[in-house]
Chains A and B, each alone.
Chain A
């Protein structure tokens, strides 16, 4: 049974805080709180098209049956449905905290004509730069269009973004209380880890915020006021 949750344990924590990674969550489910029997058979691989008995370390061997899955309610709210996974998307087995990024490309165009600035330069004609107004606009690529189709209509963020998901694959269906406990551990910030002494440091990752290079110090207010 494939369970898909939104985010990963500790996603909302500030930088520097320790949180469970996939190995820590596995330890919690299997060894500490005994919440479910995880699917750990190396032959078993969950793929969108079904469950496969694959060669060790391989991919999509014998088809064993369709995937039974359950998406967390919060995913539905975000517009993430089963359709968001493309063909041959692989969930593996056991526990996985995965993420993907979608980059919204931009380009600079001449505000008046809509001609891409790069095309203007490539034309080889002299350009009076004082008469060109540049606007940065989204560049809708074919890959973005295809990506957007995977979301529930109208829910795909119209900017670069990340999607964090956690897969938990069990041998059978989890008990409701166990499911709720796992869901809270992953999706709710205040869900505390119990019996902390039964964990080791290698069960945790440290939250980290990636710092983007400093933005330029343009005085936009002054620019908006115009000249003189």
Chain B
């Protein structure tokens, strides 16, 4: 059963309490933890061109993420940045019209914003075992 959480920060803090904290172990080991506001500003900066994408941005017919989706991704970035989480390694639109934040390290962690203010996360641990969850902001429709 996928846990449903009320907010991104609750999802991440809950996640950190439940398991060997990804954010404090695997990411730290590979030395890519950077909680600086500059990194988070770069995340928001990367989302701006994503907001301007048009349909067929990948040349294979993908629809552009909606403005509302990009806005909610920016809001999520702001929430995570303010809660002292490390910035993602990459930010990217997907051909499914969603937005993906990924953290690459010994372990892998991703958050996929699938609709405005709703997201799914996946963690793949060092042995390749994946766990999934989802969360939503109170702003989700």
Q: Do chains A and B interact in one complex? A: no
